[in-house]
Amino acid sequence: MKDSNFLKEMNARSMWHPMAHPADSLANPPTIVTGAQGVRITDVDGHEVVDGVGGLWNVNLGFSCQPIKDAITAQLDQLPYYSIFRGTTNDAVIQLAEELRAFFEPDGLSRAFYTSGGSDSVETALRLSRQYHKVRGEPARTKFLSLKKGYHGTHFGGASVNGNANFRTAYEPLLAGCHHIPAPYTYRNPFNETDPERLAQLCLQALEDEIAFQGAGTIAAFIMEPILGAGGVIPPHASFMPGVREICSRNGILLIADEVITAFGRTGSWTGSRHWGVQPDMMCTAKAITNGYFPFGAVMISEEVAQVFEQDDTGKAAIGHGYTYSGHPVGAAAALACLEETLRLNVPENAAARGAQLFQGFQALQQKYDVIGDVRGGHGLMCALELVSDRATKTPIDKGTINAVQEQAYQSGAMVRVSGPNIILSPPLVLTAADVDVILSALDTGLAAATG
Ligand SMILES: Cc1ncc(COP(=O)(O)O)c(C=O)c1O
């Protein structure tokens, strides 16, 4: 590895960063992370902090999960790659499919379609849902519904169902036939409704209204995150996702749960759908499926949807979709080891306990700092602070101040993530109570320094 002066000098000179302005990356060089152990990361200057971001919502078991590292190494030695396109397969994916089938059995999902990440999983689910209706003889069902504030990756399909202009406007025109309904976001919504249950009902009515307007027979699927993540951690009321399920079933619309961040324990339940007692028709997974150590994902498919494809005798169910790295054996080996560790460690239990601690800590910070307009969380290890410059008008905080909070928190021991006016926390699910205290105290220092 080159020395630190070289790295700092070159930093963003010859590369563009995702989700950043190239000029900003040059003007404000990103933190160069060079090592990690447990739940801590170390930068090029040797500064060590608790990673409150968990990589990018994916390193659920921390950075030192030896069984996954060993599985990756062993698989590289045995079979570093082979395709699973028609005609060939590999042993690792077969074994993984059986394990995933057992894991997702309570969600009613029994088939896996492998991908290389979250955006690929979303694209796969959207495409397969259109095909499902064509196979069933309802080819006019092509539209997609989703939530404003939702995040579904950045492929054209995913961006089209995304509910945030930041990922859309520069890339328009997007896919035709994608329509959005208000998110159950109590702090800001078009109904001015602060009661979560009443707001959930209003959003469900908006969904019914949109379906009636579009015509149920034109809609293929509704896609949602069980708890909205990247959009600022928005947990809906417990009645919301079951309500969506009921409306979708009644109208012949598939329900796709985008669980790229919520599957495998983050919400304090094994999946976000299970958290709300819902069985989706498809579930998008990625990220924590390999603990972030290998780019990999799987779309899980319900028995009912699977039967429609498998019993087709017209040829319409031939799948014209897939990626070179669908079913990569190294990813599958990583996922097998990761699943075993995830189950052995029973991560939802710690996610729920540490999540409650973090959420309470956030509520205490809100008492102390006027700049914290809203605190969201309470369902496992996904929490957010929404910062405002004025609580009464809810004016979003300026960029300079929120970035200063992040920088000061980093200097004080915790990496946190800034997304618009939100500070988002999604730490590894294996962190301890003491690690949570480090995050809270670093944020306290950051807020005091930047806003005091
Ligand atoms: C809910 C959700 N869906 C899809 C994606 C896209 O995943 P990826 O960045 O792996 O393509 C993300 C990424 O954060 C996500 O949070």
pLDDT band for 3, please (50, 70, 90 cuts).
confident
Cα distance between residue 19 and residue 30, in whole Å: 12
Dihedrals phi, psi of 346, to nearest 5 degrees: 45, 55
pLDDT at 1: 67
Is 151 close to ligand 1, i.e. is its CB under 6 Å away? yes
Q: Span 164-179, mean pLDDT?
A: 96
pLDDT in tens, 322-335: 999 999 999 999 99
- From ligand 1's centre to the CA of 159, what distance in Å? 11
**φ, ψ for residue 266 (rounded to 5)?**
-60, -35
Q: pLDDT category, 279, cuts 50, 70, 90? A: very high
Q: Residue with the nearest Cα to atom 3 of ligand 1? A: 152
Evaluate whether 439 touches 358 at the Cβ level (below 8 Å): yes
Mean pLDDT across the chain, nearest whole number? 97
Whole-number Å distance, alpha carbon 220 to ligand 1 midpoint, is 21
Predicted local distance difference test score (pLDDT) of residue 9? 85
Q: Are 429 and 351 in contact (CB under 8 A)?
A: yes
At 372 the pLDDT is 98
For residue 436, the CA-to-ligand 1 centroid distance in Å is 25
Q: Indicate the pairing of strand 417-419 with strand 422-425.
A: antiparallel
**pLDDT tens digit string along 28-56?**
889 999 999 999 999 999 999 999 999 99
Question: pTM score > 0.85 for this model?
Answer: yes
Contact status, residue 417 vs residue 339, Cβ threshold 8 Å:
no
Using most ligand atoms within 8 A of CB, pick from 261, 262, 266 the residue to mutate for ligand 1.
261
Determine the residue of 119, 154, 155, 271 to mutate for testing ligand 1's pocket, defined as the one with the most ligand atoms within 8 A of the Cβ atom: 119
Q: What's the CA gap between 387 and 443, in Å, rounded?
A: 13
Task: Say how far apart CA 99 and CA 289 lie, in whole Å.
Answer: 12
* % the chain with pLDDT above 90: 96
Q: Calculate how far, in angstroms, residue 121's C-alpha sits from the geometric centre of ligand 1.
A: 9
Instruction: Give the ligand 1 atom nearest the CA of 121.
Output: 4
The yes-or-no verdict on residue 303 having pLDDT over 90 is yes
Residue 35 three-state SS? strand
Largest CA distance in the chain: 69
Ligand 1 atom at shortest distance from the alpha carbon of 262: 1
- Residue 172: phi and psi, rounded to 5, are -70, 155
- What would the two tokens of residue 348 be? 């939802």
Q: For 79-117, how does the pLDDT look when each residue is reduced to its tens digit (9 = 90+)?
A: 999 999 999 999 999 999 999 999 999 999 999 999 999
pLDDT per residue as tens digits for the range 205-255: 999 999 999 999 999 999 999 999 999 999 999 999 999 999 999 999 999
pLDDT in tens, 145-162: 999 999 999 999 999 999
Ligand 1 pocket check for 118: Cβ under 6 Å: yes
Asked if residue 116 lies in contact with residue 326, where contact means CB atoms within 8 angstroms, the answer is: yes
Nearest to 424 by CA among 367, 358, 347, 356: 358
- Using a 6 Å cutoff on CB, does residue 117 contact ligand 1? yes
Residue 452 has pLDDT above 80, yes or no: no
Q: Which of 120, 151, 323 to mutate for ligand 1's pocket (most ligand atoms within 8 Å of CB)?
A: 151
Give the C-alpha distances (Å, rounded to integers) separating 165 from 91, 150, 170, 178, 376.
42, 11, 9, 14, 22
| Cα–Cα separations (whole angstroms), residue 391 to 250, 396, 452 | 41, 9, 16
